[in-house]
Structure 1
Amino acid sequence: MSNYQNFPPANEDGAASTQMFRAFVDEPAAQPPTAPNEGRRTGVIALSVIIALVVVAGVVYLAMK
């Protein structure tokens, strides 16, 4: 009689499911991308507020003159 049983080597996972699961679990959590223009946006808003205050102050000065 012939022996048709095929066993993988002792150090190899036949389906590689254990190795793929371990790679998935050991993978670091993905960081959400940060907005690269956040600092620029804050600066534009602050500059707009300062310009608006200067314009209002100029109108008040001209009205009082």
Structure 2
Amino acid sequence: MIEYVKTILQKVSFSTYLFERELKKGLRYLMPAEIEEFRDWCYQMFGMSHQPILNRYFKPA
């Protein structure tokens, strides 16, 4: 499931609104063990463009 959520986020990263909506939905689908890996990936991929959104949903690493 984590790969599916990553794919969706990459496709909607052009829009702040869509990115936040899909991030919120994606977090509901992930297992607790996957969240840390997913958080790290999100900050690596989108930290420059969507950091305020990521900070709302994750504790900054």
- Higher fraction of helix: 2
Q: Who wins on radius of gyration, i.e. which is larger?
A: 1
With the length of structure 2 as denominator, give the TM-score of the two structures: 0.26
Asked which structure has the greater RCO (Cα within 8 Å, sep 6+), the reply is 2
With the length of structure 1 as denominator, give the TM-score of the two structures: 0.24
